[in-house]
Structure 1
Amino acid sequence: MPTLEELKLLAENDQLFDYAIRQLERLERFGPLPGIVLPLIEAFLPVLPLIVFVVANAVVYGLIKGFLYSWIGAVAGAVLVFLIVRGLGRRRFFRFLRKNRQVKRVMVWFEEHGFGPLFLLMCFPFSPSAIINVVAGLSGVKTRDFLLAAVLGKSVMIFSITFVGDSITSFTSNPVKTIVVLICISLFWLLGKYLEQRLAARARRKKG
């Protein structure tokens, strides 16, 4: 098992993708577990590029299974980080983070808008997912809203990476792929807002 420094060196030398494929093929006897674990680990080690693991899953497992395994791992990792931070949020280190002006600003933004900004941030592969998960855990955003945003937002992001592949230029140069991804983002946005409103209405009825 390579150390974190060795993984970082592989990433810097553009060798992490080949390494991930070799490991997935070597551990194929364990079924979907390796394909799920790699994206999950990325949630705790944000120096590792999630895109590499998602594309590697697509190559080894195929489009559908690769997407599914990456999505399960990414969502599970995000939720675990969120719940851990929420549970430990009153510890000294996290109290220091809470006092940071920029962190407080993002926390208030999450608290005021809930699902919307979380969903959009989780849709994009280059957004700082580890920071989003931590700040969301420190904020007062509802766990329900975070779970909804993670499930839907990560699905859009993972689908986009899997569908487009490892070539970012093909995303910008192929209008069909771009249109498909934008339609999916729009549909998941509408679905998320609908579910958010339904859940909020149900919570108001319970309080009433």
Structure 2
Amino acid sequence: MKINVSRKSTYITLGAIVLAVAAYFSISQVREAVQVVIGILSVREPQEAIQAFRDYLLGFGYWAPAVSSLLMVFQSVIAPLPAFVVTFTNGLLFGWVWGTVLSWSSAMLGAALCFWIARALGRPVVERLVGGTRALEVSDVFFARYGNRAILISRLLPFVSFDIISYGAGLTPVSFWKFLVATGIGQLPATVIYSYLGQNLTGSVQVLFWVFSITAAIFVLGWTIGPVVVRRIRNGRNCACVPAGEETGAA
């Protein structure tokens, strides 16, 4: 199905990308900040990354929330970077309530940006941003299997890339507002939990992440498969309730 995109949307998206690239190459402070953040978010040990990111944000004083928001949007475009590190850190610095508000709203902005980049510029550009066709296979499978529900289901699974699904949705006919509502609802539980865990940071972050991921996976599995199982059970009961004589057509 062909997706119609206005020239205005394409030009605005291209303009935003050109400005961002120009700022990166022409302003040394921007370039250094991006390199520092990529280095922090690329640290393999989550707890170490969170502490490093916390120290980095504290250096901005009152501007820390704004910097955190910009960095959440930035990592949304650069799909391989882990957003949960930013969410944990926001909970640690600002408390779970304001950390949730900051992380949720910033992630929504990032998701919208990914959606419009894909919608306006198409699959070839997205493949370059996410690292090739294989990276988009997860999105393709989700949308082929679940249709529009793929957005909500994938948002409830923390181990499914938030950014890949945002890009993938932009390559489908789903409307922007349906995408935004499903994203907002689907990402809220994980954002609240990560922010709360960040505020009360104890033990291994990696263990907490996988415990929540497994719990969410079980929930989504039950939500998607459960109705099918119930329907089959009901059909089996209905068949069992039919008298033998009626089944064979006997009088």
Q: TM-score range by the shorter chain?
A: 0.5 to 0.7
Query: Which of 1 and 2 has higher RCO (CA within 8 Å, sep 6+)?
Result: 2
Deviations 1:141-178 (A, max 9, x none): 2222111111111212211211234535457889xxx7
Deviations 1:20-60 (A, max 9, x none): 10122111221521231222222112222111111111111
Q: Within the alignment, does 1:3 sit opposite 2:47 as a pair?
A: no
Q: CA 1:8–1:65 in 2, change beyond 3 Å: closer, same or farther?
A: closer
Q: Within the alignment, does 1:160 sit opposite 2:193 as a pair?
A: yes
Q: Which has the larger radius of gyration?
A: 2
Indicate conservation of the 8 Å contact 2:41/2:85, yes or no: no
How many percent of aligned residue pairs carry the same amino acid?
22
**1:136 alignment counterpart:** 169
Indicate conservation of the 8 Å contact 2:92/2:195, yes or no: no
Q: Pairwise mapping of residues 30-41 of structure 1 onto structure 2 (< 5 A)?
A: 30=63, 32-41=65-74
**2:55 alignment counterpart:** 22
How many residues of Structure 1 are paired with residues of Structure 2 in the alignment? 173
Indicate conservation of the 8 Å contact 2:69/2:102, yes or no: yes
Q: Within the alignment, does 1:51 sit opposite 2:98 as a pair?
A: no
Deviations 1:7-30 (A, max 9, x none): 168513553212210122111221
**2:112 alignment counterpart:** 79
Q: Which runs of 5+ in 1 are unaligned?
A: 187-208
**Following the alignment from structure 1 to structure 2, what is the Cα–Cα distance between the partners of residues 20 and 138?**
33
**What RMSD in Å do the two structures reach over aligned CA positions?**
3.5
TM value normalised by structure 2: 0.57
TM value normalised by structure 1: 0.67
**2:103 alignment counterpart:** 70
Which residue identity is paired with 1:150? T
Indicate conservation of the 8 Å contact 2:95/2:196, yes or no: no
Q: CA 1:33–1:92 in 2, change beyond 3 Å: closer, same or farther?
A: closer
Q: Which runs of 5+ in 2 are unaligned?
A: 1-32, 224-251
